[in-house]
Amino acid sequence: MLSTFGLAFALVLTALATWSVLDERQGSEAVAEVLDVEHRGARTFLTVQFTTNQGEVCESLLRVTADANRAVSIGERIRVRLAKSDPCLRVREADDQSGWLVILVAVALLITFAIATYVAWRRPRTPLPLRYAGMP
């Protein structure tokens, strides 16, 4: 039973991750101005302001993944990638490929739970007739 719920969860996770990556691929790129730089331990977060293709001015917080953008300062410009469905909220660095990692994890879970579900739900083998019970 647990494997079936896990399989359903993995299917939904794979579908959502695939939709998210495709939505970002269909989006556009923009040049954003860095408004604030915040260092939280080993992570760096940037508050950026940019204009979408529709002319909407947006401000967003994004996590830096590229080494080149870790050393940016306030007032500099960086390239960002905007998602097609919600360009103001779903913003990443232009070179960020971390969305593919989610798909790989989701597919690995999908395969794992598919195997577990198959093992749990397959038909048991019929027992051998008693006349063959002692035979090798």
Fold type of domain 2-120 = OB fold (Dihydrolipoamide Acetyltransferase, E2P) (2.40.50)
Higher pLDDT among residues 47 and 10, named by residue: 47
Strands 77-82 and 28-40, by their bridges, are antiparallel
| pLDDT (average), residues 97-113 | 82
Lowest-confidence region among 19-23, 38-42, 116-120, 131-135: 131-135
pLDDT tier, 48 (very low <50, low <70, confident <90, very high otherwise): very high
Q: What is the domain partition of the chain in residue ranges?
A: 2-120
Distance (Å, rounded) from C-alpha 122 to C-alpha 128?
Answer: 18
pLDDT tier, 40 (very low <50, low <70, confident <90, very high otherwise): confident
Please check the confidence at residue 136 and state whether its pLDDT lies above 80: no
pLDDT of residue 49: 92
Q: What is the pTM of this model?
A: 0.67
